[in-house]
Amino acid sequence: MAPFNDDVFFATIPELNAALRARKFSAVELARAFSERLEKLGPRYNALALSLREQAIRQAKNADDDLRRERFRGPLQGIPYGAKDLLAVAGQPTTWGAKPYAGQVFGFDATAVQKLNKSGAVLTGKLSMVELAGGGGYRYAAASLQGPGLNPWDLGRWSGGSSSGTGSAVAAGLVTFGLGSETSGSILTPSAYCGVTGLRPTYGLVSRYGAMALAWTMDKIGPMCRSAEDCGLVLQIISGGDSKDPASAGKSFYFGPRYAPKPDQIRVGWAPPDFFEAPEESVRPVFQQAVEAVRSLGVQISDVRLPDLPYGLVTSTVISAEGAAVFEPLIASGKVDELADKKQIAGLKAGLDIAAKDYLKAMRIRSEIQQAFRKLFSQVDVLLAPARPGPATKIDEPLDAASNRPQPKDPGLRALIPAGNCAGLPALSLPCGFVGGLPLAIQLVGRPFSENTLLSLGKEFQSRTDWHRRRPR
């Protein structure tokens, strides 16, 4: 058996799949190695909510039986993964990252987990998260049952919310891939901060059945992986219609980058101030190199801007109103006061006071946002922007601290995360370089159900760069 060194722990899905088929090691050996690593190193990053070693070994034995009989179920067969702790796993605690739900157990698997298990993937653990996925808003990274998500590149930095444990675990080689969720930035932010590749799917493409609800009209489940190719392989499995999710789009996804438009056929829209004026001066050269790398693919680049609409206000109103409705029983019981973050407690309570007229007004403006994107995507196919304007924040830094640095008058695409989530658009976060030893990332955003275009462009970008291959020491 080959030794389980970092080359195994940081391998991509196709690389591990090929090794399993070649019998270089068994799925059980792989599951044991990853489980031990997750149990040993997961607490270092506050990334581990629950080890599922025994269950993983059983799943791995089934994978080995199939592999011996040459029953190949696909590229995820025998591959270790982790799931954010808002996804139900039958008979196991699902805490939603919050003390009031520490003893919560469901008798069924979330649809995404069920589909992955059926594909032969091996669930080795549940990964920590910001409590209640950040519902109500929070001020400090410590707003989690396991403590603040620590960044494998620098333990004094945040791994990002709310899928903090998934970001840390993938970046540190504790799992090959993980499931995260995004309502407004919770896949893109930890992916960018931790230097992994993260995909926010189109709203409704992946079932949320068995996942904690925060905002019914905005929640999305997606993969966080080593590469764009890995994201496509996972999305192919977890996507698809589900009658148990009323918002399901009823669409499936087949990962076929060879069928996507060639780079020279793709029109990319960007706003130069997003890269060269808004970020700190120290990170601008990295973003400039990233833009040049995208240009080198042969895409057609043109300047674009988002229309002047209140993206942040609309997003916060919708999430606050829907989140307060979801957690009304928690608020009414008084157990909301057990949460770790005082700002979040106050925010959830305040959400109950949002008037129906304000929520409906936000939803009306939201339809204008969707229409604005339809018009924008008649001019371009993909939007390009920094995933985050800078590297991971310090653990003890207030997340609502205002920047003293003046921002450019040109708004560019800086509101792309709230705007894209309002419109239900897919987005792909790609590592693009480092500053001070910390990762930076760009994001690609497309029209609904254009995941293959984003992934093919991301795959081509990563074939010419190696940022996604870098490992924290």
Please tell me the distance from the alpha carbon of residue 228 to that of residue 208, in angstroms, as a whole number.
22
Q: Which of 162, 163, 184, 191 is catalytic?
A: 162
Shortest CA distance to 187 belongs to which of 366, 325, 42, 388? 388
pLDDT value at position 258? Answer: 87
Catalytically annotated residue among 184, 186, 239, 316:
186
Chunked mean pLDDT (size 10), the chain, 473 residues: 82 98 96 98 98 98 96 96 98 98 98 98 98 97 97 98 98 98 98 98 98 98 98 98 97 93 96 95 97 97 96 98 98 98 98 98 98 97 97 95 80 96 98 98 98 98 97 93
Residue 3 has what pLDDT? Answer: 63
Q: How far apart are CA 182 and CA 315, in angstroms?
A: 13
Measure Cα distances from 92 to 109, 245, 351 in Å: 10, 22, 30
* pLDDT given for residue 408 in this prediction: 86
Cα 379 to Cα 312: distance, rounded to the nearest angstrom: 24
Active site residue 162: yes
Catalytic residue among 35, 84, 159, 168: 84
Q: Is 443 exposed, middle or buried (0-12, 13-18, 19+ CB in 10 A)?
A: buried
* Two structure tokens written together for 111: 């649809």
The question of whether 84 is a catalytic residue gets the answer: yes
Q: Of 64, 81, 84, which Cα lies nearest the Cα of 12?
A: 81
The whole-number pLDDT of residue 124 equals: 98
Tell me, yes or no, if 168 is annotated catalytic. Answer: no
pTM > 0.95: yes or no: yes
